[in-house]
Structures are given as structure tokens and as C-alpha cells.
Structure 1
Amino acid sequence: MKNPSDFILNIKIVITILLLFFYGIVQAQNTRGQLFIIGGGDRSNALMTQLINISDLKKDDYIVVLPMSSGEPVESYDYFKAQFQKLIPNPIIMMNFNKTTVHNKVLNDSLQNAKLIFISGGDQTRFMDVVKNTPVYTSIHKAYKNGSTIAGTSAGAAVMCEHMITGNQKLQTKYSETFDNVRYDNLETTVGLGLVKNVIIDQHFMKRSRYNRLLSALVEFPNHIGIGIDESTALIVRDKEIEIAGESEVVVIKKPKGIIKSKKDNLVSIKSLEMAIYIEGQKFKIK
């Protein structure tokens, strides 16, 4: 061997590459939990039983309800608890965090050890105003990475994304459940939990005809997948695979091409896009 030091250096490089490779595998496998994202509306016992089954709750596991989206948090918790107590014996705990308690270590330790975390409906902005940049945000992510199921309905569905639809229009002073047309620089988004990447989620989708709102989101984020979840319907997200559960439909819109932004009223032209509609039991993948 001409130069033993070169051989040793090469061995070290190979070991480093292998360590990085296996570290990447471990990191990819760390997210062992799943998401159960409900489009709002009534939650049937059958749908909630599916949530319980995928959560794989053991005897000593407990459920945490985060009702901070709701203007009536206790009522939201009581409604959830009343339904779940009929389906499963596990403890159901409310953690109605505020600006002070988000820093409580005992509460955060309990949150991240919950086997199922449920985020109520209401106002997604209200929820994120409490949670963002706090230990609660971190605890939810830790629970997810450690194998817990994170579920949410309506506003609790919207918060799952990186880029969260607030429901407001920048070009309109009055709130509307749907958008009158598709316009650029009109959709208001803010930071969500980011549990699902490269996806924009809208809820109550078929019931409230929110096509224009979701299309407006894809104009702002053309590389994302737009997913509209109808009421009483859910996405079961396992890594990059999504399965549909529930009574209605899920609309998936992606790959908008040839986007032209007009100077007149911020109107938009889209030459083409892909759209699909899924029902219970069907699956699709996200990148």
C-alpha cells in the first residue's frame, strides 16, 4: 500500500457516508404517527371508530382534546367526550392552553405522551395564535414522531398544513364562506402546524362550494396539492399515502399550468390542471 494514511482517510469517508445514510433512514422512520383530518360537520360513530382503530389505543393510553380553536372550548370538549365515552374506556383530557400555560412543562409532557390528540373546530387562527412558536407546537410534533395520532376537524383540519388558509380575503373586507371568483393576491394564509407538507387543505368543501378558494390557494402555491375535504369525511395520512374515510368525497387538485395574472381585478387564467375525486376506501399519494 503506497500511503496507509490515504487508505484510513478513505475508510473514514465511507463510514461517514454510511452513517449519514442510516441516519437519514432513521429520521424518515421517526414519523411513525398518522393524521386523521376531518372536513367538519357531523362525526358519525363509524368514523370515530375508524379513528380509534388507527390510533391503536392500549389500556393505559389517554386522549387529549385541544379546544383552543373554539369560542366555546368546554362545550367542544364535552361534545367530543360524550361521543368517545360510548366507544372507548380510555381517559379523555382537555388541555385548553393559553398564553401562560403553553409554557407549563408538566402539561407539555402530558401532551406529547398522549396516544391521540384531537384538535376541535372553530377558528384556526385562534388556535395558531396560542400555539405557534411555543412548547405546545413542539409537543404536538414530538407526539406525532413518537407514533401518536393527531386528529382535527374543520379548523382542526386547516391547522395541519404549513400554509394554513385563514378564510379571509385580502381584497374583501367582509368574510364569506366561499370566494366569488379566483383571484391572485387575495387568499390570506398564515403559518400552520406543518404536520403535512406541500399540501393545502380546505374543509366543508362540497357543502360550501369552496372550489374558488382552493383554486386561489393553488395560484399562490402552484407546487402544492390542493385537497378539499367534505363534511363527515376524513383523510387518513400515513407518511405520503392518504386514505379516504367517511360518508362523502374528497377533491384533489394539482399541477396548475399556464397561470396568467390579469391586471383587471386580480383575475386569473389557468390553462390546465389535474383534478380527481375520491370516496371512502380509496387511496392516493402525495409527494
Structure 2
Amino acid sequence: MMDLPKGKLIPIGGKEARSPQDNNGGGSRQVTFQHEGILQEVLMEMKGPESRLAVITTASELPEEMRDMYLKAFDALGCKNVEVLHLDGRNVDSKNTLSILEEVDGVFFTGGDQVRLIDRICDTKFMDLLKDRYRNEDFVVAGTSAGAMAMSAVTIREGSSTESLLKGIVEVSRGFTLLPKTIIDTHFMSRGRFSRLTEALLLNPGFMAIGICEDTGLVISGGNHLRTIGSGVALILEADHIRNTNFKEAKRMQPVYVEGLGVHVLARGAGYSLSERKFIVEK
């Protein structure tokens, strides 16, 4: 049996509350930024305000804007020790970059384009070191939107959010594989992504698909146990008990039928075990 990772993953569905004035994030329920907010929980999974954190803006086309936004957000939570890294072909494996990664308590991947993020960071010394720290230390890998989608084994590169489940609406590729046999999608309800995540799951039998809504996250321990944080919900889709589907025979852009797709809705107070396929209500 493979050793369980000692670190934690925190994928976030996007639009997390980033200031006290933005304290309801993407949902309607008011949350207290300093105490209930997702970024606060990211810090608490490390060492609280004393945490040393690296914010990775590689996915974004506006890295300076992202840098300023997250420096301000973490500063408001009392976290002053934040390094911002915009990694590309020139600096991803530099001595300075690897030195920062060796010293921080966790990393936070911003939103943007998951394809850019994966293409620039996979197959690098940076990724090797990140995985090593995640597997062997109490190290946190957090990410929002594209930064969350990249964590899974399979990543949706492109996918239209159609009203119907039509064959051929998604294109997938490898992800960071920090969470094996999974596919993560974000902005899940607000952008109508049920159909594209379902097709991605049908393309990968035996996988689990995780759709995370805005201002919602999951704290994943041991590469298995999911705990929900934030003001919204996350959905778990599983295809283990599908009885009938025309997915293989359907032609491109034809509608797909599925009998027996498993759907679980998680919110704060609920979790899930990926290995046991078990819904957990926290006491």
C-alpha cells in the first residue's frame, strides 16, 4: 500500500472572500472574513498568521494584480510573510525559487488558465520538490479556480458549459496528480459546469469528479478525507454504479443518457472519503 501523503490539499471553487468588505464571497450567506473565511482556514491549516506562504500567480495573465490582491488579503489576516512567485520557463527551477519553496509552510495557486499553469510547472524541479514536501511533510497546497483544477490527475483543458450533456464538449489532459484518480472543476454552479464535469468523468472510468462552487473549498487530508469549508457547496460525482449509458456509442454533440450516476452534495459540516466512497457528517 502506498504511503498516504502527510500534507493537505485545499482546492477552492473561485471567488473566495478576499477582504472584510467582500465577506460573502460568491454566496448569499454572510461570513466573517477573519474567522470563517477560506483564506483564514488556509492559514489555520498551516501555522496561522505566522505562516510562511508562497503565492503562485503563474496561471494569471494579470500577475501584478493578483500579487497585490493576495498580499492585501493575507495582510488583513495578519500574515506578513508572503512571497509571490510568477513562474515561467526562466525562473521556475532557479535557485531562488527552489529556496523559497523549501522554506515556506505552504503554497497558494491563484486563478487564471489551468493549461498555462500545468504547462509551465509540470516536469520541473519545482514540481518534484512540491510533491516531495506534500508527501512527506505537514505542507499545504492550496489553490483557487485554475489553481484548484490543476491539482487533480485529469484536468479539463477546455469545455463548453452547455445546457445539455452532449458528447465531445470537453477536452482533458493531465494535471499535477496531487490527488490521483480525480477531476476537479470550479465555479461549478455559477457557470453551469455539471455537463462538462460529467463527461470528463465518463471519459475516465473509476475516477471521482469534484465540482466546487464559489467561495467554497475542501480540506483534503491523507489524499482521501474531504472536509468542506466556505459559504457554499461542493458536489461529488461518481460513476461506480452506472447501469446504462449511450456514452460510447453516441456521436459527437449527440445527447448522452446515464442511469445510476452518483451525486453527493457537501457543505460545511459534511465530508467524504474518496477511498471508501463514503459520505461523512461531522459531529
TM range (shorter): 0.7 to 0.9
CA distance in 2, matches of 1:193, 1:119: 12
CA distance in 2, matches of 1:164, 1:117: 19
Conservation of the 8 A alpha-carbon contact between 1:97 and 1:130: yes
Structure 1 stretch 47-56 or stretch 104-113: which is displaced more? 104-113
2:155 counterpart of 1:164 = yes
Equivalenced residues, count: 252
- Aligned AA (1:248): G
Conservation of the 8 A alpha-carbon contact between 1:184 and 1:220: no
SS across alignment from 2:187: coil
CA distance in 1, matches of 2:93, 2:251: 47
Conservation of the 8 A alpha-carbon contact between 2:49 and 2:77: no
* TM-score normalised over the length of structure 2: 0.83
Which aligned pairs between 1:1-287 and structure 2 lie closer than 5 A?
A: 28-29=3-4, 31-43=5-17, 44=23, 45=33, 46-57=37-48, 59=50, 61-145=51-135, 146-166=137-157, 168-169=158-159, 176=160, 178-239=161-222, 240-255=224-239, 256-260=242-246, 261-263=249-251, 265-287=253-275
* TM-score normalised over the length of structure 1: 0.82
The structure richer in helix per residue is: 1
CA distance in 2, matches of 1:190, 1:101: 24
Match of 2:278 in 1: none
CA distance in 2, matches of 1:83, 1:197: 31
Identity, in percent, stands at 24
SS across alignment from 1:76: helix
Structure 1 stretch 103-112 or stretch 120-129: which is displaced more? 103-112
CA distance in 2, matches of 1:47, 1:69: 20
SS across alignment from 1:55: coil
| Superposed displacement of residue 147, structure 1 | 1.7
CA distance in 2, matches of 1:252, 1:161: 14
- Aligned AA (1:101): N
Deviation by residue 1:78-111 (Cα, 9 ceiling, x = unmatched)? 1011011111244110111110112213311321
CA distance in 1, matches of 2:196, 2:127: 27
Structure 1 stretch 140-149 or stretch 239-248: which is displaced more? 140-149
Deviation by residue 1:201-223 (Cα, 9 ceiling, x = unmatched)? 11001111211111111110121
- Aligned AA (1:189): V
Match of 2:28 in 1: none
Unaligned 5+ runs, structure 1: 1-23, 170-175
| Superposed displacement of residue 264, structure 1 | 6.6
Runs of 4+ in 1 over 4 A off after TM superposition: none
Deviation by residue 1:160-194 (Cα, 9 ceiling, x = unmatched)? 1111111x24xxxxxx4x13432334421112111
